[in-house]
Amino acid sequence: MRIFNLFPLFLCTLKIFAGSIDTSEIFYEFHQNDNSYSFTGRFFTNVSPGCLIFVLFDFEHLIKFVTSADSIELLDYGENWQDVRYTYKGFLFESKTTYRRTLKQERQKILFKMTACKQSGLPLPKPLSSKGYYEIKTEEDGCWVEYFQEAELESNLLQGFYLRRVKKEAIQFLEEFRDYVNRTCK
């Protein structure tokens, strides 16, 4: 059952071995306090920053690298923004979450912020707010891709279960996203 409105979470420590960076490593931190959490993750890649920013913002790529959603809809868009709805369904559960995604090309960054959330079925914690970013940080040998998301949740008895699931899905998302950009931006 997919229960997390993951879209897009990252930060971490750099790991350098003998002067080169291991491109298969994923670094992440997950923090939770009462009714909120944050996820920061990053990975290093040798692909072009131009391809990365295109893949991160292009809707046709988004529906390929966000594999945990049952459906993703482009509701509206402009030159540097998109309104996107992610639908997650599970046994006796459905969540529809809409995010505004904004491209900051000059900063090599995509910001996202939840604008709506509707849930039905099982009484899982509902996100009250959620925001974050994807950012590309160019270095001499390649790029760091950083993903960050923070959210505030409704208080709920299933909070512990939900947050364990959120962390697991965030890590899985990061691994799948890394593999996708490395295949796509050769």
Tens digits of residue pLDDT in 33-73 = 888 999 999 999 999 999 999 999 999 999 999 988 999 99
Amino acid 45 reads T
Q: Are residues 104 and 123 in contact, defined by beta-carbon separation less than 8 angstroms?
A: no
The pTM score is 0.83
Rounded-to-integer distance, Cα 99 and Cα 48, Å:
26
Domains of the chain (ranges; CATH) run: 16-184 (3.30.530.20)
Residue 41 is predicted with a pLDDT of 96
CA separation (Å) from 75 to 2, 85, 105, 164? 22, 7, 22, 30
